[in-house]
Amino acid sequence: MTEEELLEKGYRKYYGEEVDVYFNTHICEHSGNCVRGNGEIFNLDRKPWILPDNASKEEVMRVIDTCPSGALQYVQKEGLAK
């Protein structure tokens, strides 16, 4: 999906240097894969709770790819979308 499509569907954008992360609270199943996958990127005890620059682009994408609901998405800065 493109950034425009994600925002139209209600996703919130979290900016990163190499990859932007998008989260939609309305479809989240609260599986916890994100916070267990990497607590440096996803941490519910801080605001913002998603910090894409706290790990490599590859690590961010790896963790997001484990999200079972699709509530987490990413768009690489090179213009490639998941």
Give the model confidence (pLDDT) of 25-37 as tens digits. 999 999 999 999 9
Confidence band, pLDDT 50/70/90 cuts, at residue 54: very high
pLDDT of residue 73: 98
- Note whether residue 82 is domain-resident: no
Instruction: Indicate the number of domains in the chain.
Output: 1
DSSP code for 56: -
> Residue 78 above 80 pLDDT?
no
**Domain, as residue range, for 37:** 3-76
- Note whether residue 55 is domain-resident: yes
Distance separating alpha carbons of residues 58 and 64, to the nearest angstrom: 10
Confidence band, pLDDT 50/70/90 cuts, at residue 38: very high
- Note whether residue 81 is domain-resident: no
- Note whether residue 39 is domain-resident: yes
> Residue 5 above 90 pLDDT?
yes
- Note whether residue 51 is domain-resident: yes
pTM: 0.92
The residues, ordered by sequence, that sit 6+ positions from 41 with a Cβ below 8 Å of its Cβ are: 21, 34, 50, 51, 52, 54, 55, 59, 60, 63
Read off the CATH number of the domain in which 58 is found. 3.30.70.20
Q: Which two tokens stand for residue 39?
A: 């607590």
